[in-house]
Chains A and B, each alone.
Chain A
Amino acid sequence: MILLYHAEPTLYALKPLIALEELGLSYESRWIDERPVERVVPDFPGEATQAIRVEGDGPVLVDGDAMLTSSFFILEYLAQAYAEPPLAPADPYEYYQAQAIGQTVAGTIAPFVSALAVAAHPVPAGDYGDIEPVERRRAWENASASGQDITGLSNRLEPGLRKLGTLLGERDWFLPAYSIADIDVFAIVREVPALAPGLLDEVAPNLPGFCERMEARPAVQRALAKGWGSATRYLPGPEISRWG
């Protein structure tokens, strides 16, 4: 039995939804718009990785006895555990490239897209004082506050988006075949036009066409239809590097 605890089909939550649909797996979708980890973790007291929340409040996949977090790693998990149709490349170098794209997205793009998303769509004001650890509490408090530096955040998105545009080049997909790398990029990059108007066309003009190809896939359309109309469309994501 596969359970997916997820918020609206945006950003991190969208990734496993697409993979589950692509793989044709039956799963139970459990909607959550607040702190998914706390809702699921108590069932897995012996799993120390429950405390590793480097992605913020991303989706949680429960597959039998296993609890899995961190959206790119969930994609890798699903591609290995349910190998047909193949969503991850068999060749080690192509697999390296998929992981390198995952790192680029997680490290240089997603933190800024997440910050822009919660700046445009703040989470409800509330008392988040009980959230642990402290950096996650701050993330929720920031996500309900106003006055974020939108221009600064948009500017910092540029290098990562340029890199992705170069990696894609003239191809349809990031690797020779459709893969988890495409799902990973799409889930984050599709939000950019609304959050930083004009930026994608300027720095990576091939990415809008890539997003259109993704949106034409039936599995992607089914995943995007998994919304439930919550006003909280975005949850706090990974933090921006403290090294600047």
Chain B
Amino acid sequence: MTAPPITIYHWEPNANSGKPMLTAEEKGVSYGSVYLDMLSFDHHRPDYLAINPAGTIPTLQHGDRVLTESTPMMEYIDATFAGPALRPADAVGRHRMRMWMRFIDSYMGPSLSMIGWNIGVGPSVRQKDPKVLAEAIERIPLETRRTAWRKAIYNEFSEEELAESRRRLHYSVALMERHLGMSRYLAGEDYSLADINAFNSCYGLPHFLPEACNDEQTPALMEWLRTIRERPAVITTFAKSRTDRGARLKLLDRKPAGATA
């Protein structure tokens, strides 16, 4: 058996880590999978910093090339390998794809992760030894990431910040619902990297934001989530989950015909 052409260092198939994993899977590109336990700070250990000195996740290795920006990395995989095209061929469609990815990466995603850290990840990490946690934060190479981890670990989010994140998520959900009511996928009629990017952040919406993301209020968004959830590449990729995150996909299972809630 030949070695896979690429190696992906990743955490859960979630947010940033899921982007290259799911893109490679959709392309039919086999990859060496290295799972880093982000909650044990695996990504700030010296052996990983030797590969990616910034200590961010994910990293894609292809021969002697090391790629660390998760969204451009998806385009690299699509452009480099054979397999189904995951980007619109025309320049307008591709622009629309990139706009949605930027929206997820810099507007919706940070709000979602603030809520996620506040109610999920933060409390579980805080059970660790405070001294171990303090040392782990000191090892983080980028100052901006140190600040973010400190906020997340010690729950330094103000009520105002959390409320602002919830407001942005409600706005984002409404925008996606409006768009997906007119367009089958985010960049147009075909599945693209924008959907992969967005699904990795949005699959947990019915869990995090049940009051705003549900069959009554956002039927188009729910249908989009379910359609993507059923893709073989998504099932294979989410099977690599080692936490309860993968199980959140079950909230997207279709009810059998005739069943009542």
Do these two chains really belong together in a complex? yes
CA separation between A133 and B107, bound complex, in Å?
A: 12
Binds B, one of A6-14, A66-74, A122-130: A66-74
Contact in complex: A48, B175 (CB < 8 Å): yes
Binds A, one of B24-32, B141-149, B239-247: B141-149
Contact in complex: B67, A81 (CB < 8 Å): no
Task: Determine chain B's interface SS by DSSP, over half rule.
Answer: helix
Binds A, one of B97-105, B126-134, B207-215: B97-105
Contact in complex: A70, B94 (CB < 8 Å): no
* Closest partner residue, chain A, to B178 (CB atom): A48
Contact in complex: A244, B144 (CB < 8 Å): yes
* Closest partner residue, chain B, to A160 (CB atom): B144
Which residues of B171-197 are within 8 A (CB) of A?
A: 171, 175, 178-179, 182-183
User: Does A216 belong to the interface (CB within 8 Å)?
Assistant: no
Hey, which chain A residues are within 8 Å of B250, CB to CB? none
Which residues of B148-184 are within 8 A (CB) of A?
A: 148, 151, 161, 164-165, 167-168, 171, 175, 178-179, 182-183
Contact in complex: A49, B99 (CB < 8 Å): yes
Which residues of A160-203 are within 8 A (CB) of B?
A: none
CA separation between A238 and B105, bound complex, in Å?
A: 13
User: Does A205 belong to the interface (CB within 8 Å)?
Assistant: no
Which residues of A64-95 are within 8 A (CB) of B?
A: 66, 68-70, 73-74, 76-77, 80-81, 92-93, 95
Indicate whether A96 sits within 8 Å of B95 (C-beta atoms), given known contacts A54-B107, A73-B102, A159-B142.
Answer: no
CA separation between A96 and B65, bound complex, in Å?
A: 11
The 8 A CB mask of A83-112 against B (1 = contact, 0 = none) is 000000000110110011001001110000
Contact in complex: B99, A46 (CB < 8 Å): no
CA separation between A100 and B54, bound complex, in Å?
A: 14
What is the minimal beta-carbon distance from A63 to any residue of chain B, in angstroms?
A: 8
Hey, which chain B residues are within 8 Å of A96, CB to CB? 67, 69, 72-73, 75-76
CA separation between A52 and B73, bound complex, in Å?
A: 22
Hey, which chain B residues are within 8 Å of A69, CB to CB? 99
Indicate whether A242 sits within 8 Å of B161 (C-beta atoms), given known contacts A49-B96, A77-B92.
Answer: yes
Hey, which chain B residues are within 8 Å of A77, CB to CB? 91-92, 94-95
User: Does A51 belong to the interface (CB within 8 Å)?
Assistant: yes
Which residues of A132-147 are within 8 A (CB) of B?
A: 133-135
Contact in complex: B91, A103 (CB < 8 Å): no
CA separation between A66 and B96, bound complex, in Å?
A: 10
Partner of B99 from A70, A133, A134 at Cβ < 8 Å: A70
Partner of A244 from B67, B92, B107, B151 at Cβ < 8 Å: B151
* Closest partner residue, chain A, to B182 (CB atom): A46
What is the minimal beta-carbon distance from A221 to any residue of chain B, in angstroms?
A: 27
Task: Determine chain A's interface SS by DSSP, over half rule.
Answer: helix
CA separation between A126 and B174, bound complex, in Å?
A: 30
CA separation between A99 and B73, bound complex, in Å?
A: 9
User: Does A241 belong to the interface (CB within 8 Å)?
Assistant: yes
CA separation between A100 and B179, bound complex, in Å?
A: 28
Q: With a 10 A CB-CB cut-off, give which of A69, A74, A96, A134 has the most chain B CB atoms.
A: A96
* Closest partner residue, chain B, to A97 (CB atom): B72
What is the minimal beta-carbon distance from B155 to any residue of chain A, in angstroms?
A: 14
Taking A52-B107, A54-B106, A103-B71 as known contacts, 12 extra A-B pairs with beta carbons closer than 8 A to each other, sorted by chain A number, are: A73-B98, A76-B94, A80-B94, A93-B65, A93-B80, A95-B75, A99-B75, A100-B67, A100-B68, A238-B106, A241-B110, A242-B165
What are 22 A-to-B residue pairs whose CB atoms are below 8 Å? Answer: A48-B178, A49-B99, A54-B102, A54-B106, A66-B95, A70-B102, A73-B98, A73-B99, A76-B94, A76-B98, A77-B92, A95-B76, A99-B71, A100-B68, A100-B69, A106-B106, A107-B106, A108-B144, A133-B171, A134-B167, A159-B143, A244-B147
Interface, chain B (partner A; CB < 8 A): 65, 67-69, 71-73, 75-76, 79-80, 91-92, 94-96, 98-100, 102-103, 106-107, 110-111, 114, 142-144, 147-148, 151, 161, 164-165, 167-168, 171, 175, 178-179, 182-183
